[in-house]
Amino acid sequence: MEKRYIEVEIDKLTNSIENVITGDSFNTQVLPITSSDIEKLNQGWNFDWKAENNSSSKVFKLVIENNENIIQGLIALSYHDGFVFVELIESADFNIGRNKVYFGVAGNLFAFACKESWDRGDFGYVAFNSKTNLIPHYNKTLGAKQVGQSNQMVIEPEDAVKLLNRYYG
């Protein structure tokens, strides 16, 4: 399997997701993606999410509470001994760039990965492969640390707790 690199922007760490124009905050849920969701994921996504939801990784969707039909972002996670690995993460096209609708989508999804790790007894350890130019960005925004000279990064318990407290109270 080819190595893939995370290149999502952590635009702002919020408490849920925040409307860019009004500043209003909306409670969110992260739920397993359904086959019905996957069938609707044709336009506006850069990755083949149907292929991601398999025996080695699970895909989850970020939605606003009581509005499960509009997917704000997606994350694919694989589970390993001692940590959760972020295979892929993507904000919906309407949450990217200058005209985005909501801040906080990617941060929310990384917090969910930390929660999955914590719930499994892995103390919030989350790993992922970063694009080289984004290593300093993930270090600053998520507290992720680079593993040696590689592109692999890890969120350790202390920084996982910060994300969990922000997004999950």
Summarize pLDDT for 106-123 with one digit per residue, the tens: 999 999 999 999 999 999
Residue among 142, 90, 85, 88 nearest 111 (CA): 142
The fold of 17-168 is Aminopeptidase (3.40.630)
Distances (CA, A) of 155 to 26, 67, 69, 124: 25, 30, 30, 7
The band of 53, judged by pLDDT with boundaries at 50, 70 and 90, is: confident
Which neighbouring-strand residues pair with 152? Answer: 129
User: In this prediction, what percent of the chain has a pLDDT beyond 70?
Assistant: 98
- Where exactly are the structural domains of the chain? 17-168
